[in-house]
Amino acid sequence: MPDCQDLGHTLHWVTRVSDLLGAQPTLSFEFFPPADDVAAKQLSETLDELAPLAPSFVSVTCGVGGDGHDRTRDIVTDICGDRPFPAMAHLTCVGHTKQGVAALLDDYAAAGVVNILALAGDPPDGSAISGDFHYASELVEVVLAHPAGFSVGVAAHPEVHPRSLDRTSDRRHLTAKLNEADFAITQFFFNPADYTRLCNELAGLGCHKPVIPGVMPVIWPKSIRRYAAMNGSTVPEPLFARLESQPALDRIRAAAEAATELSQALLDAGAPGIHLYTLNRPEASTKIAALLSL
Ligand code: FAD
């Protein structure tokens, strides 16, 4: 059961994700900030439906620039106060100043939020990177230097980050970043061999930090094809073709079964947990959790 801290007016779940990794496989869910009231209601209902699964933690993505940081902060703070599981805030550095990030970290510390996923983010429309930071590793340094003692995760890309010059430099930069942080969560991928190769390459460079695979149930194949093209994730054509031809209910069931098969293979290969990209919907994640019996 996660640790609980009394912040005076409300109880907050303050378990550090890094303390959860290793004992038994974790199951975590990722959400994005809703765009309007209808989407906010949908997210709240999804959280209600997933709560009985007792997730190890959940995480909330963060937009680049604008009010992206504030929206994530408000949702993460609410979840930590209202729900019996910890929430981790994604924090992007592109387009942000050191001062702005420091103020946000103070907000998180005051609200009892102890988990941060430190990311570069992507400049909008491929524009040049602006702000005080270039790489996620610079953000990791700032988060670790904060007196709150945050648990810090970073992103890893099993199929190599699309901006990397080559595989060797990708792994070298990831090793340097992950050696400073507590754990990594991966971009989505569909071939378990990509995960084992990543872990072996990191181990070969002397990095043995936990790497949690991110698993994307293909509930909306068209959108996920688009995300995959942006991330450099290879799409398994037979699976996508089959899902694209199915009506919604069959598709969600089949997507959950495929994601379960991948998750089980990853756990068998020694993954410390599974991080499910929920797209703010509960159906596939509920099925996967039941099938995996975590
Ligand atoms: P970095 O670690 O900075 O790496 C980016 C590129 O720079 C890589 O090619 C790397 O090899 C290279 N590099 C790193 N350090 C150096 C260096 N010192 N010198 C030269 N090159 C270097 N995006 C969002 O906008 N919001 C989110 O909430 C979000 N959540 C995510 C969650 C997960 C689990 C993952 C996997 C990704 C997420 N992303 C999110 C996407 C992420 O921001 C993008 O993939 C981004 O392009 C890279 O982020 P990074 O943190 O891996 O960057």
Q: Where are the domains of the chain?
A: 3-292
Angle, CA of 273, 275 and 276, to the nearest 5°: 135
Give me the pLDDT at residue 5, please: 59
Q: Give the chain's mean pLDDT.
A: 93
Asked whether the CA dihedral 93, 98, 99, 104 is positive or negative, the reply is positive
CA distances from 22 to 85, 211, 292 (A): 18, 11, 18
Give me the pLDDT at residue 8, please: 47
Q: Which atom of ligand 1 is nearest the CA belonging to 187?
A: 36
Angle, CA of 264, 267 and 270, to the nearest 5°: 155
Q: Which atom of ligand 1 is nearest the CA belonging to 119?
A: 51
Is pLDDT at 98 greater than 80 in this prediction? yes
Q: Which amino acid is at 71?
A: R
Collapsing DSSP to helix, strand or coil, 36 comes out as coil
167-213 confidence digits (pLDDT tens): 999 999 999 999 999 999 999 999 999 999 999 999 999 999 999 99
Fold for 3-292, please state it: TIM Barrel (3.20.20)
Separation of CA 241 and ligand 1 centre (Å): 29
Contact 154, 175 (CB under 8 A): no
Smallest CA-to-CA distance from 272 within 90, 17, 52, 73 is with 17
Distance between CA 235 and CA 103 in Å, rounded? 40
Residue 220, token pair as written in the block: 């909306």
User: For a pocket test of ligand 1, which of 57, 58, 117, 119 has the largest count of ligand atoms closer than 8 A to its C-beta?
Assistant: 119
Measured by CA distance, the residue closest to atom 46 of ligand 1 is: 121
Distance between CA 56 and CA 274 in Å, rounded? 10
Q: Which amino acid is at 129?
A: I
Separation of CA 48 and ligand 1 centre (Å): 31
Measured by CA distance, the residue closest to atom 19 of ligand 1 is: 173
102-132 confidence digits (pLDDT tens): 999 999 999 999 999 999 998 777 666 678 9
Give me the pLDDT at residue 64, please: 77
3-state secondary structure 182-238: CEEEECCCCCHHHHHHHHHHHHHCCCCCCEECEECCCCCHHHHHHHHHHHCCCCCHH
Q: Which atom of ligand 1 is nearest the CA belonging to 156?
A: 36
Q: What proportion of the chain, given as a percentage, has pLDDT over 70?
A: 94
Separation of CA 260 and ligand 1 centre (Å): 26
